[in-house]
Amino acid sequence: MDDEQLIEEGLADRLAAGSPEFERFVDITARRPSGDAGAGHYRDPKEHEESFALALSALELTPADRYVELCFGGGQVLERALETVERAAGIDHSPDMLALALELNADAVTAGRLELVQGDVHELPWADGEFTCAACTNAFFFIERPGAFLAEVRRVLAPRGRFVLLTAVRDAAWNGPWAPALRTYEPDTLRSLLLDAGFAEASVDESSGQQLAVAAVR
């Protein structure tokens, strides 16, 4: 099956959850987007617009912020954050997402305002306390070791730093054919994960139909 056909089958919910075909569908469309058919979608991921707006609103960015984004995908949130902040950075493990985000944010990269890295978010390539705020949208459900990831985010944030996480609610219709591949958490569990990772405060709100967690370093 070629990638286009695989995506068609996956979107139609015809692949058996857990099968090699299903896992490849999840990888190329979302977990590590790749190829024209899988990655091209992230040029303009309209269905993520609401989560982008929620994340940016919860971040309350100021020009003095140093912003880092985990799993940046096509780079749209970075582009918007750079309308306010002077400096930003981001990490994603997909080479195709790195290429898209570089293309979208070429001016900021050339100007030395944005650093984009290809890598795994379980190990962040930045020093302790390097950023004042961080965000991660539509990706936490793929993170295999959430405790290790959150501790890394906490580590690179400065005192009083804040972190905004947008992720899937269990059983939401929006999870679509990807649902069997997504790790979801009860609000109390997610809050505990954030506190255990060293955040001093954490709240989780599901009123938008997505899970919005806001955590702060004291």
Ligand X SMILES: C[S@@+](CC[C@H](N)C(=O)[O-])C[C@H]1O[C@@H](n2cnc3c(N)ncnc32)[C@H](O)[C@@H]1O
Residue 24 interacts with ligand X (CB under 6 A)?
no
* Closest distance of CB 24 from ligand X, Å: 14
Lay out the sheet containing 131-137: strands in order across.
114-118, 87-92, 66-70, 131-137, 157-167, 211-216, 201-205
- Give the integer Cα–Cα distance in Å for 75 and 85: 15
In three-state secondary structure terms, 188 is: helix
* Closest distance of CB 121 from ligand X, Å: 4
Contacts of 40 (CB under 8 A, 6+ apart): none
* Closest distance of CB 148 from ligand X, Å: 10
Please provide the DSSP assignment of 34-45 as one string. Answer: -HHHHHGGGGS-
- Give the integer Cα–Cα distance in Å for 26 and 6: 10
Under rule CB under 6 A, which residues in 34-93 are in contact with ligand X? 45, 48, 71-73, 92-93
Determine which residue in the list 105, 132, 138, 211 makes contact with ligand X, applying CB under 6 A. 138
Residue 154 interacts with ligand X (CB under 6 A)?
no
Give the x-and-dash track for 176-215 against ligand X (CB under 6 A).
----------------------------------------
Contacts of 57 (CB under 8 A, 6+ apart): none
Choices 8-16, 105-113, 139-147, 186-194 (CB under 6 A): range interacting with ligand X: 139-147
Residues of the shown chain interacting with ligand X in the complex, contacts defined by CB under 6 A: 30-33, 45, 48, 71-73, 92-94, 97, 120-121, 137-139, 142-143
